[in-house]
Structure 1
Amino acid sequence: MPKDYYIQPDAPDPVLHEEKVLSLARQHVPDVKAVTAVDETGGEARTYAIDDDLIFKTQRPQQLRPRTSLKKEIFFLQKLEGVAGVNVPRVIGYGHPEPFLEYTLMTRMPGIAFRNAEFEGARRYAALRDLGRMLRRIHSILQEPLQDSGLFFGDQSPVDVRGRMGNLFDEVAAMIQQEGRPWPFYLAPDEVGRRLMRTLPDVTTIVALHSNPGPEHVFVDPASGQMTGVIDFGDAYFSHPVNDLRRFRAPADRQAVLEGYVESDPVDDNFIATWRVACGLADMVAMAYSPEFKSVAMEELDQILKGVA
């Protein structure tokens, strides 16, 4: 995909003083008391936890890029508010009081990130199946308002999806080669991509996607094992749904997500053919970057390629 363009790479990026954060938050929630944590792991955004239940999220000025937007995230979250079976942060307020200060105040998602939960077995499967159910509901909302908003980039045709997927295969193959990653498969990475891309159909479904509903953005209750929701919609874009469903590297995890996704309404052969291509991409990443999944990823990729030969 095209390289990110950063609009103001030399802009200052100070961590806000607690009183600054609280004074802005009090414009929307007058009785907030304290900033309890600051998190910079999001890259384009910095978040300040307020009390026990609020998140004050700022756009990091030097990381401002066209495909990431607080306004887009707000718009998407507001369209998802009240949708049955969808748990996302609720937007409380927004402001852009200074040239380099833009923020959103929203509710805090309860629980912990899935990547920190260490779920195994039936508990892991159930949480990921719940994620699949939720993603199906997110993908099923009315698309026209999102398209008409002018806030979302992405694919508008089967040709666009084909270009996106082909570029992703090439990017992964190039990274594996440039970084000298061990490659255990019997076909070279670029050959895997070419063979899979020859099986990609002209897709019949394009919707607004979260972008990365993976282990860092899916939250769960560590006590009950239940999924509590999904956060961080700032990189949302239009493409085929499998680009949301492929975000877990272990084949069993992706299968659980898919099973939840199709539970209430089956998908057609065109979708499944596209899903196989997306799984092949995820398997390539797993083999090169996640040694713990290397064997199962190799096995799945081999089965996919033999099935489409």
Structure 2
Amino acid sequence: MVAGTPFRANLLRIPSEILVAVQNGSRAVPESRPTDLSEINSDDIYAKLRNDLAFWEPWVRKALDSLGLAAPGRVRIPGESTNPVLLTDTGLAVKLYGEHWCGPENHASELEAYEVLSGHGLPIPRLVARGELRPGGDGWSWPFLVMETAPGITWREAMAALDRPRRLSLARRFGAVLRRLHEVPLTGTAALRPGSDVFAELLRERRAETVADHREWGYLSPRLLGGVDAFLPDVDTLLAGREPVLVHGDLHGTNLFVDPAGERITGLIDFTDVYAGDPRYSLVQLHLNAFRADLGLLSELLEGAGWEVPGSFAEEMLQFTFLHDFDVLEEVPVDLTGIDDVGALARRLWGV
């Protein structure tokens, strides 16, 4: 992640009475915990605080109050996230963007995505409001977005509870949603404009770094990784002749919401990794994280999306696997270290 510039002095502090009000029994804010946003002046400090409910709850209450929105009774953090996200019992979610860990880029990306996706009937929580914790200040303004929470439960929760037929049904239904997402016109002004080079530049960076990264992650054998550079085409060749579409690059198991009883897709969230790019890229996190490399689920999704599957599909998708921006093999529930050939790995992960 990219580190931002240090915060400046003389920043607004949360009143002590608000801090006291959100203390929860033994979870009172320790004296050593920062209470001022100016104290988040490094990647390390931000990393330690980004999912800390005790720190962020008073700021979220301040954000909602500044917009005249109802004060929640309870606030919670749903799980690990790059940017602080807090859910309220009033049906709203607040997402804050710091100056560290690509916060400025994430904020811009999310705003652009909401503008482009608006009015297309996709199951995307409504953007209610936007604001800044420190408007008009000299340092980072700490922008935030307020959104409705997604109905239903996460894909990950649903997969733990559903039988096989209903899992397959939901995968097929999400295929139809994914097709509609890819059909949204690219009307953005930055990463979501048809001529944007953001996606191609990302792939070029990943091509240069992927072998070293995978050696560090350790999911694949050294012998297999020795053949990856020759296996990967140059990016221009990989993308040649394909019109860009709206790609969501982080469709993991907690960014997708479903109604298991009604077998409906009810929510799609987190638009910090969206591009005008190749639709194949959007399958990588979806299949390897949300589906845990379940080829039956992938087959149903492709069928629901009306996705043409050429004979080279598995090899193409393994190329995008190596070029993806995340550690996408982390959730694959099988040991891949015994596979020494890229063709065998392609068939194991993507052979539908």
The answer on 1:246 being equivalent to 2:246 is no
* SS, match of residue 95 in structure 1: strand
Aligned with residue 96 of structure 1, among 112, 115, 132? 132
The answer on 1:12 being equivalent to 2:13 is no
The separation in 2 between residues aligned to 1:183 and 1:149, in whole angstroms, is 35
Q: Name which one, 1 or 2, has greater alpha-carbon Rg.
A: 2
Could you tell which deviates more after superposition, 148-157 or 213-222?
148-157
5+ residue gaps, structure 2? 8-37, 41-48, 50-54, 135-139, 348-352
Higher relative contact order, structure no. (Cα contacts within 8 Å, ≥ 6 residues apart): 1
TM-score by length of 2: 0.66
* SS, match of residue 208 in structure 1: strand
Amino acid aligned to 1:134:
V
Q: C-alpha deviations, 1:56-104, integer Å up to 9, x for none? A: 11113433445422x43133123323313x1111111001240342111
**Which residue of structure 1 aligns with residue 227 of structure 2?**
191
The separation in 1 between residues aligned to 2:335 and 2:281, in whole angstroms, is 21
5+ residue gaps, structure 1? none
| Preserved CA contact (<8 Å) 1:94 1:104 | yes
Aligned with residue 41 of structure 1, among 67, 80, 102? 80
Amino acid aligned to 1:50:
T
| Preserved CA contact (<8 Å) 1:38 1:49 | yes
The answer on 1:302 being equivalent to 2:338 is no
TM-score by length of 1: 0.73
**Which residue of structure 2 aligns with residue 228 of structure 1?**
266
Give 1:183 deviation, angstroms: 3.7
| Preserved CA contact (<8 Å) 2:93 2:148 | yes
RMSD of aligned alpha carbons: 4.0
Q: Assess, with a 3 A threshold, how the Cα gap between structure 1 residues 300 and 254 changes in structure 2: closer, same or farther.
A: farther
Q: Assess, with a 3 A threshold, how the Cα gap between structure 1 residues 273 and 111 changes in structure 2: closer, same or farther.
A: same
Give 1:226 deviation, angstroms: 2.9
* SS, match of residue 8 in structure 1: coil
The answer on 1:175 being equivalent to 2:175 is no
| Preserved CA contact (<8 Å) 1:59 1:103 | yes
* SS, match of residue 86 in structure 2: strand
Give 1:150 deviation, angstroms: 6.7
The separation in 2 between residues aligned to 1:304 and 1:23, in whole angstroms, is 50
Amino acid aligned to 1:191:
G
The separation in 2 between residues aligned to 1:64 and 1:159, in whole angstroms, is 19
Amino acid aligned to 1:80:
L
| Preserved CA contact (<8 Å) 1:21 1:56 | yes
Give 1:195 deviation, angstroms: 2.1
Give 1:54 deviation, angstroms: 0.7
The separation in 1 between residues aligned to 2:206 and 2:96, in whole angstroms, is 31
Give 1:114 deviation, angstroms: 1.5
Could you tell which deviates more after superposition, 29-38 or 245-254?
29-38
The answer on 1:262 being equivalent to 2:306 is yes
Equivalent runs, 1:1-309 vs 2, <5 Å: 4-8=1-5, 11-13=38-40, 15-18=55-58, 20-28=59-67, 30-39=69-78, 41-43=80-82, 45-65=83-103, 67-69=105-107, 71-84=108-121, 86-98=122-134, 99-117=140-158, 118=160, 119-143=162-186, 145-146=187-188, 148-149=189-190, 156=197, 160=201, 163=204, 166-167=207-208, 170-171=209-210, 173-179=211-217, 181=218, 183=220, 187-197=223-233, 201-203=238-240, 204-247=242-285, 248-249=287-288, 250-252=293-295, 253-262=297-306, 266=308, 274-275=316-317, 277-278=319-320, 289-290=330-331, 292-294=333-335, 301-302=343-344, 304=346
The separation in 1 between residues aligned to 2:61 and 2:152, in whole angstroms, is 23
Q: Assess, with a 3 A threshold, how the Cα gap between structure 1 residues 140 and 41 changes in structure 2: closer, same or farther.
A: same
The separation in 1 between residues aligned to 2:252 and 2:110, in whole angstroms, is 17
Could you tell which deviates more after superposition, 239-248 or 187-196?
187-196
Q: Assess, with a 3 A threshold, how the Cα gap between structure 1 residues 258 and 197 changes in structure 2: closer, same or farther.
A: farther
Q: Assess, with a 3 A threshold, how the Cα gap between structure 1 residues 150 and 184 changes in structure 2: closer, same or farther.
A: closer
| Preserved CA contact (<8 Å) 1:68 1:234 | yes
**Which residue of structure 1 aligns with residue 24 of structure 2?**
none
Q: Assess, with a 3 A threshold, how the Cα gap between structure 1 residues 21 and 138 changes in structure 2: closer, same or farther.
A: same
The separation in 2 between residues aligned to 1:251 and 1:66, in whole angstroms, is 35
Q: Assess, with a 3 A threshold, how the Cα gap between structure 1 residues 159 and 259 changes in structure 2: closer, same or farther.
A: same
**Which residue of structure 1 aligns with residue 43 of structure 2?**
none
